[in-house]
Amino acid sequence: MSFVSRSFRRSLLLLLGGLLFPALTASAAGWEPVRHDGRDYVTVRSIRDFYKFQSMKVNGSFLELENRAVKIRFSIGGQEVFMNNVKFVFSFKVIPHQGRYLVSRIDLGKLVDPVLRPSYIKTSNPSTPSSSIPVTAATTRGQSINTEKRPTTILPSPVS
């Protein structure tokens, strides 16, 4: 006879699986997650491997990734990034850390991945305008209503 009930063991296994799954998924996809100063980053090397860039080199104050279709230039210590000579500005700096270069997961999920894989961008339903906000008594009295969802950062999944 077991002192721990079957439902408790099952719940414990589900909880542990839920805690370990994100780490296993990130490492299985080849990502090198790094926690630095309270923020989540990934290495540029793992970006290079995931998106199949052929070269990665430091050129002055820039770190460059290149393949046949795309050239990315990250400003080391800065927030600027150039993708095929189009300038973008990250939310956080690209930082050198322990011999690696780090890009925040927020910038990866919100800027790099949508530019490199636009087919993965979810589009809104064309029949429902995204700017329609109902007018209520709160909005007519000068009070604002927060209509934004809390942002989430998800590492891109490999293409099947």
Look up the CATH number of the domain holding residue 48.
Answer: 3.30.457.10
Is there a contact between 42 and 34 (Cβ–Cβ < 8 Å)?
yes
Distance set, CA 43 to CA 4, 26, 64 (Å)? 42, 12, 13
Per-residue model confidence (pLDDT) at position 66: 95
Residue 112 lies in a domain: yes
Mean pLDDT over each residue of the chain, to the nearest integer? 77
16 located within any domain: no
- Whether the per-residue pLDDT at 139 is higher than 60: the answer is no
pLDDT above 90 for 149: no
Residue 103 has pLDDT above 80, yes or no: yes
Total domains in the chain come to 1
Taking residues 5-14, what's their average pLDDT?
A: 59
Is residue 158 domain-resident? no
Which is higher by pLDDT, 128 or 49? 49
**Range scoring the smallest mean pLDDT among 34-43, 101-110, 151-160:** 151-160
| Domain assignment present for 137 | no
Query: Among candidates 95, 107, 103, 93, which has minimal Cα distance to 44?
Result: 103
Is 153 part of a structural domain of the chain?
A: no
Is residue 58 in some structural domain? yes
Give pLDDT tens digits for 41-99: 999 999 999 999 999 999 999 999 999 999 999 999 999 999 999 999 999 999 999 99
pTM exceeds 0.75, yes or no: no
* Residue 20, in any domain of the structure: no
> Using CA atoms, how far apart are residues 17 and 41, in angstroms rounded to an integer?
23
Largest CA-CA distance found in the chain, in angstroms, rounded: 68
104 occurs within a structural domain: yes
To the nearest whole percent, how much of the chain has pLDDT over 70?
Answer: 59
End-to-end C-alpha distance for the chain, whole angstroms: 46
Give the model's pLDDT for residue 22.
45
What range does the domain containing 95 cover?
32-119
Residue 75 is predicted with a pLDDT of 96
Q: Is 61 helix (H, G, I), strand (E, B) or coil?
A: coil
Which residues on adjacent β-strands are paired with residue 75?
Answer: 62
